[in-house]
Amino acid sequence: MNDDLTDDLPPPADQESYDKDLPKGEKATHNSEVRKRIDDLLERKRLKELLDDSDDWDI
């Protein structure tokens, strides 16, 4: 039996170098805050589009 999922996994050495490339400290905190802000704005946009859909409202 062949497991196709294991073929897609990178070698362990690639995992270690990936961790080294991740930002640390102040930059990581800033990136996290920016990502959270982007996610919040996207969610607000999605909700606004749902509310602005005039087909759902009977006047």
Answer left, alpha or beta for residue 25, where phi above 0 means left and psi between -120 and 50 means alpha: left
Say which residues have a Cβ less than 8 Å from residue 31's Cβ, sequence separation at least 6.
23
- So what's the pLDDT on residue 15? 58
User: Is the CA virtual torsion 36, 40, 45, 50 positive or negative?
Assistant: positive
In whole numbers, what is the pLDDT of the chain averaged over residues? 76
The predicted structure's pLDDT at residue 23: 72
**Mean pLDDT in each 10-residue stretch from start to end of the chain (59 residues)?**
59 63 82 95 92 67
Q: What is the reported pLDDT for 2?
A: 57
Distance CA 36, CA 29 (A): 11
